[in-house]
Chains A and B, each alone.
Chain A
Amino acid sequence: MTIHIPSRILGFGLAGLLAASLGAAPAARTSKHAARGVTCVQCHGKSGKPAAVPFRQCQGCHDPADLAARTTQAKPTNPHQNRHYGTQTDCTRCHHEHKASENLCLPCHTRFTFKVP
């Protein structure tokens, strides 16, 4: 049978979990950007809650087309110029600051074994 659960119950539970995990995490985070003097609000904004960083925010400092031009020799393919997004792959699909980066290509292209900084 189908069971229907109101959103506020699940929502409440999720919020509780998040609060718990945030509370347990250390306040200071490691970050390559921080090491170069970039402050939290420069990426995350001033709203108080650390929002996900939108692609346009990265582009304030990093030009994706420039980056793609600099990685044309990457083997086996240039990850910054691809069939799916051209040069417009959202940086945060691979590159993370506060957790390990990931290789977005790999699940489908099993031989695209890039090391993602």
Chain B
Amino acid sequence: MSDEPREEGQGPDAYTRRVLEQGLSRRSFLGRAAGGAAAVGLFGMGASPALAAAVKEPKAEGFATSTDGGATLTFLPKPKPIRDREISETLTFDVVVVGAGASGVPAALSAAEHGAKVAVVQKAPFALSQGNTGSGIDLAASEKAGVEALVARLIADSNHRCDPKLIRQWAYHSGEAVRWVIDRAKQGGATVVDQGSPAQRAILKVNGYSMGYVTSFFGPKPYTTGDGMRALAKTAEKAGVKFFFQMPAVQLVQGRSGEVQGVIARGHDGKYRKFLAKKGVILATGDYQNNRAMSDYFIPDVKHLERKQMDRTGDGFALAYWAGGVFEPIGHTKMLHDFDAGPASMCDMPFLAVDRKGRRFVNETVEMSLLNNYLKDAENAGHYSQVFDADYMTQAATWPGKLVPPDGLKNYMPDEPGPKKGVFESQVNTHKAGTLEELARKLEVDPATLVATVRRYNEVVASGKDSDFGKPASFLAPILKAPFYGIHRRVRVSAICSGMLVDEHHQALNADGKPIKGLFLVGNLGGGFYGGVDYPLTVFGLSLGRCYTFGYLTGRHVARL
């Protein structure tokens, strides 16, 4: 099976055209700054000195403010190039990878296996990644029509705003890539298994066509893909890859025609080192969720939502932007979950859900991955609780998901003594109480409000019709019998998964839609793979699967240049 492009020689595709027109590049920003300032003058709104100055200074490139005036882009000013005499050491490789995560480590190893001399510069003291599951399609076990049906499903999941050729590339290469990651990570001592198709129960048939999957699982928690990538990095070191830790990249080295020739990074000792890349630089620096200005500008939805990661400051976004790269248009795709407070298998079960005050707020058939949209104000900040009673094992037996019996729930209860298994102990947040008031206190919601909410909910249940939110009658179960249970979840930003414009080789494109020589972008920095409001959970582990696959393919591609 192949994913050969269907359109040849017809100029940029629809996705690329939109990003070129509506995305943000250094050139488009400078152009718009001039246009915006002129418009201000024209409509007589330039009364303030700042705006008047903007009219006179169309080349202002220091700050831009978002449309609501609240966010400021501080990452825009291109720094003065670091001079050669400030460089303490220059090292030359074929390929330089920036970032040792779920895309960077595979990219580095893949390039090394294809004969390249490879360096990885990493800001953190070791390789890092999050999550457990990374997925691909087992082509041998899938019908071609099924693969295309899943591609169509993923495009729809992204509200038809993604780049179909990248979805197809994942579909037709992910099985191979994920198997390769499993094999090479095992060589480095990782605890990893292929959970295969059983892990993807809901998509074994797509539009009636049969599908099979490769589902890598680094776990159970607290073991994660971070441990997996550290193991993969060991394999990469054996293959000759040189890792430079605590070495954040600060600038790209560019030639006269803008081609990227290397990276300048600052070592732990405060000195700059230049890493020249004869074939190409692969940026794999992850998302920008910890860069407040960038987040407020590109995805104001997450303004009040907590972050799961640290130090994701969008370094690669700035580097690629300075080199002429193009951000995907404002309104980026986000990923918010909480699989830790209670069992992951119960997160989408339509129990009564209450907000941080204790009020019902949604038709609970809305999946956890979308609930952030109802809870993005400063007060709720992603917090909600699922509430059920002593009879949940029988009342919810036929609901989607998988129930964990009371004994198993203890594993998620901070008030229960003893060591816990397969969870992050510091994140469990499931509670049991003899009364609703006591439960409310444990869930940190207002007791009187919760009692009133449950009273009203029980009336709705008794009537057999959810006249408040329209939930199907089959999902209406009363909350009457002690002990009462609650899972206090807080969805936080796992990742922002929109990025910068790339072609099918993951090479960055400039504002003319032309490849920037020597610059490649993978992982969450790479654009085009999503586009919807939220990351879709159709394929469990799509995110890591995509990171592995594009790292694997790009490392090989650049090594062969």
Contacts and interface: CB of A to CB of B under 8 A. Distances in A.
Interface in A74-96: 76-77, 83-86, 88
Nearest to A85: B125
B301 interface: no
Contacts, number: 81
A105 to B, nearest CB: 8
A107 B306 contact: yes
B62 interface: yes
Interface stretch (A4-12, A25-33, A35-43): A4-12
Nearest to B124: A85
B51 A3 contact: yes
Contact of A3 (B49, B54, B61, B269): B54
Nearest to A64: B125
Interface in B127-151: 128
A3 B65 contact: yes
Contacts of B53: 5-6, 9
Nearest to A107: B306
B33 interface: yes
Interface stretch (B35-43, B235-243, B447-455): B35-43
Contacts of B222: 83
Contacts of B246: 88
Given A55-B268, A83-B226, A5 B63 contact: yes
Given A76-B426, A88-B125, A2 B306 contact: no
A7 B57 CA distance: 10
A7 B61 contact: yes
A112 interface: yes
Nearest to A11: B62
B414 interface: yes
A76 B428 CA distance: 14
Interface string B299-316: 000000010101000000
A61 B60 CA distance: 44
A56 B247 CA distance: 13
A1 interface: yes
| B-side interface mostly | loop
Nearest to A88: B125
Contacts of A5: 50-51, 53-54, 60, 62-63, 65
B414 A111 contact: yes
B329 to A, nearest CB: 13
A86 B385 CA distance: 33
Interface in B203-258: 222, 226, 246
B270 interface: yes
Contacts of B480: none
A54 interface: yes
A108 interface: yes
Interface centre among A7, A77, A107 (most CB of B within 10 A): A7
B126 A86 contact: yes
Contact of B36 (A1, A6, A84, A109): A1
Nearest to B246: A88
Given A2-B32, A55-B268, A109 B427 contact: yes
B69 A111 contact: no
Interface of A: 1-11, 54-56, 76-77, 83-86, 88, 107-112
21 contacts: A1-B36, A1-B39, A2-B67, A3-B36, A3-B54, A4-B36, A4-B37, A4-B63, A4-B65, A5-B53, A5-B63, A7-B63, A55-B268, A56-B268, A56-B269, A84-B128, A85-B124, A108-B306, A109-B427, A110-B426, A111-B426
Given A3-B54, A4-B37, A56-B269, 17 more contacts: A2-B32, A2-B36, A4-B33, A4-B36, A4-B54, A5-B54, A5-B65, A7-B61, A7-B62, A9-B49, A55-B268, A76-B425, A83-B222, A85-B125, A86-B126, A108-B492, A111-B414
